[in-house]
Structure 1
Amino acid sequence: MNEDVRVTAWVRGRVQGVGFRWFARANALRIGALVGFALNLEDGRVQVVAEGPKDHCEQLLEWLRTGDTPGRVDGVTEIWATPRGGYDGFAIR
């Protein structure tokens, strides 16, 4: 069973000013069936929130950790939760 889930990931490293949010959105759209957003945080991290099928969220998380990302990813911390809904597509904030 591939239920819908919510994953919130905090990506640290050199991930601001390098197009990271745009690439996160592009990968979410490529994977498909994901909604949410990517947001620059004041401390230099990028927060990525995605809701959709669990395997799709896992694919996005795997890309954040090991993919060909812009900049440099030093680490990713994530939490899993129940979807909250209310997103229209995948936004860059």
Structure 2
Amino acid sequence: MQKVKMIAQGRVQGVGFRWGVFSLAQEIGGITGRVWNKDDGTVEILAEAQDSASMAKFIQEIRKGPTPFSKVTYLDVTLSNFNSYSDFKISN
């Protein structure tokens, strides 16, 4: 199990970014967690993957921007320890 916390900066709110992250987690498979907008204009993601290859692909695709109108200028990725989730959801 690999758990990470990500903070995405750039054009990440109002461009379908959270839905893109959700879709990406579904597409890759084996990734659970949460994604939500923060008041400071960033997006926070808590993600857990069964294997490091899936997590690496997930992080790589988020760095590219999961939607056509999003643009990630900085992605802070840190190992984290949070309660496990059984699915991936968009939180408010």
TM-score with structure 2 length normalisation?
0.87
In structure 2, the residue matched to 1:66 is 64
Secondary structure in 2 aligned to 1:39?
strand
* Partner of residue 57 from structure 1, selected from 50, 55, 58: 55
Q: TM-score, normalised by structure 1?
A: 0.86
Q: Are the equivalent residues in 2 in contact too, given 1:25–1:90 (CA < 8 A)?
A: yes
**Shift, 1:75, TM fit:** 0.9
CA distance in 2, matches of 1:60, 1:15: 16
Q: Percent identity over the alignment?
A: 31
| Structure 1 gaps, min length 5 | none
Taking the TM superposition and a 5 Å limit, the aligned residue runs for 1:1-93 are 4-52=1-49, 53-67=51-65, 69=67, 70-82=69-81, 84-85=83-84, 87-93=85-91
Query: Which secondary structure state, in structure 2, belongs to the residue aligned with residue 78 of structure 1?
Result: strand
Sort the Cα spacing of 1:37 and 1:77 in 2 relative to 1 into closer, same or farther, 3 A: same
Letter in 1 for 2:75: V
Q: CA–CA distance in 2 between the matches of 1:21 and 1:68?
A: 9
Q: Stretches of 4+ moved more than 2 A in 1?
A: 66-70, 81-84
- Between the two proteins, the alignment pairs up a number of residues equal to 89
